[in-house]
Amino acid sequence: MSLHGDFYPGDADQYLVQTPYGKGLVTRTRPNTYENSPPIKEIRLLEWEKAAKEGKLYSKHRTNLYSTQDYPSVEPQKGDDVQTPYGRGHIIETVTVRILSKNLVLHKYHVVLDSWRLAGRSRVKCYLFSNQVKALRKKTLAEMNAVERVEFAMRQKSAATAIFAEKKYQQALNIYAGCIDAVRYVQHDNNNNNECRADLIEVMVTCSNNAATCCVQLKMWEEAFKFAKNAIILLNALYDKRGMKIHTILNQDGGHCDTQLFGEWRVKSRFVMARSLFEKDEYEAALEEIKEAREHIAYYVAGEGCDDSPPAKESVKRLRGIEKQIASLRANVVAKRKEILQKEKARARAMFSDEKPKDSEITSDAQPAVHVSNEENEASLGNGSESKKNPLKKKVSFATALEETREIPEEEEDEEQSWYEEHKEAMLLLAIGGIMAMSFFFGIRKRKL
């Protein structure tokens, strides 16, 4: 029964059809009021709307066509979603078949069925003629279930890889980030099997590492660190559950070996994190990430984690190439840290050392001022032997503004001493007279009392 009067809430599979008025989208289907009559289809005219938006028509409103006729499907293209007799899928290739005896040209489509999975992680692929497929509107993320979201992210990842090869890093980054967002909050239910969860881990890790690489090319160091850190968290969680179902599914049928999962992928993440930390002047943290990466390489290249399978050998080759890059990065980090330490030592010597620092070692514009006390000055002006025994001691002040002292010239000092000698007797008599006057005054006052 319909939920909205005589109309269905919306067709689950909305077909793209070719009408006399251009391309249309079948959005709803309702039963006909006349008995034994075909249902009525509500068709949204897409090309009509496009012409209206471009100003070629007077009406700018949405135009719908109501018809009982079954219009033919539009010709699907590579990447389009299609409906087949075996379920929903998408076209990965278009093949043209020529029958010379009948002078016919037929189109066959290489279709991957999204709703089918064989044993393990194998997908069903088939070749169908044009009369066996119908073009469908692509689903939005909100309409997709967990399996469809993972499939969508994997297709987008393949497209982004091709764009990255063309050095279109910003465009590739946007697609990789979209893949991560598409599957980040996937809600699992009983219909989602472990194969789907294994695909989810693969998409999240590879897209995070690839997005981090794009950020490195664009010199977006903070974003690169976050993407690489996200991949490390997922890989470490998978490493803690080695031997369980998802790990086994990733390993089986020549898939992803441990050398690739926990060696190559983790080393890539560590390398990007170390590079980002180096560019942000966090040298100690960068050295820690480099140390972790070198331990992974040592374990999976020449240690216990090494095996003789072909995928493992390929991963070992790639790890050796990354090892050279890590060694070069480590040399840069160590050299930069050594340079910083030398500057700090030179600054310390300039502040506390008795010896005058060289001009090349002084990194600050302000130089310490040296003051000599009076006692040390007098001692230094004495005989030569005493000055050698008691060398001049310096007191260093780091104040930015120092008080200025005024020295008295020798002429002024002699002039003051000669005036005192000349009036010394008069000043003495004046003091005696003052004392006698005070004694007389206090004696009279005592008699009155």
435-447 confidence digits (pLDDT tens) = 777 777 766 665 5
Asked if residue 27 lies in contact with residue 13, where contact means CB atoms within 8 angstroms, the answer is no
**Residue that is last in its domain, among 332, 363, 394:** 363
Residue 93, beta-bridge partner list? 110
Quick one: 87 and 52 in the same domain?
Answer: no
90 and 120 both lie in a single domain: yes
Residues 5 and 91 in one domain: no
Q: CA-CA distance, 42 to 13, in Å (whole number)?
A: 13
> For residue 306, is it within any domain?
yes
* Same structural domain, 16 and 55: yes
The reply to whether 359 and 261 lie within a common domain is yes
Q: Summarize pLDDT for 219-274 with one digit per residue, the tens.
A: 999 999 999 999 999 999 999 998 898 898 888 866 788 999 999 999 999 999 99
Residue 166: what pLDDT?
94
Residue 358: the pLDDT is 54
Residues 318 and 341 occupy one common structural domain: yes
Residue 406 lies in a domain: no
Helix (H, G, I), strand (E, B) or coil at 280: coil
pLDDT computed for residue 405 by the predictor: 42
pLDDT band at residue 332 using 50, 70 and 90 as cut-offs: very high
Q: Which residues of 32-59 are buried (b: 16+ CB within 10 A; e: fewer)?
A: eeeeeeeebbbbbbbebbeebeeeeeee
pLDDT in tens, 304-316: 666 777 888 888 8
Instruction: Give the pLDDT band (50/70/90) at residue 160.
Output: very high
Output the DSSP codes for 63-91: -EEEESS-PPBP---TT-EEEETTEEEEE
Report the CATH number at residue 91.
Answer: 2.30.30
272/329 same-domain check: yes
Instruction: State how far the alpha carbon of 174 is from the alpha carbons of 156, 171, 183, 440, in Å.
Output: 11, 5, 15, 109
Q: What is the pLDDT of residues 167-226, one digit of tens each?
A: 999 999 999 999 999 988 776 666 677 888 888 999 999 999 999 999 999 999 999 999
Residue at 176 is within a domain: no
Q: Report yes or no on whether pTM surpasses 0.75.
A: no
Asked whether the predicted pLDDT for residue 421 surpasses 80, the reply is no
- Residue 343 covered by a domain: yes
Nearest-angstrom CA–CA distance, 232 and 289: 11
Same domain, 108 and 18: no
Query: What is the distance between the alpha carbons of residues 94 and 358, in angstroms, rounded to a whole number?
Result: 76
116 shares a domain with 30: no
331 pLDDT higher than 60: yes
How many distinct structural domains can be found in the chain? 3
Choosing from 138, 165, 185, the residue where a domain stops is 138
Q: Which domain holds residue 346?
A: 254-363
Which of the listed residues 363, 394, 414 is the one where a domain comes to its end? 363
Work out the average pLDDT over 53-66. Answer: 68
- pLDDT at residue 449, as a whole number: 54
Residues 120, 59 share a domain = no
**Quick check: is 194 in a domain?**
no
pLDDT digits (tens, 9 = 90+) for 356-388: 555 554 444 444 443 444 444 343 434 444 444
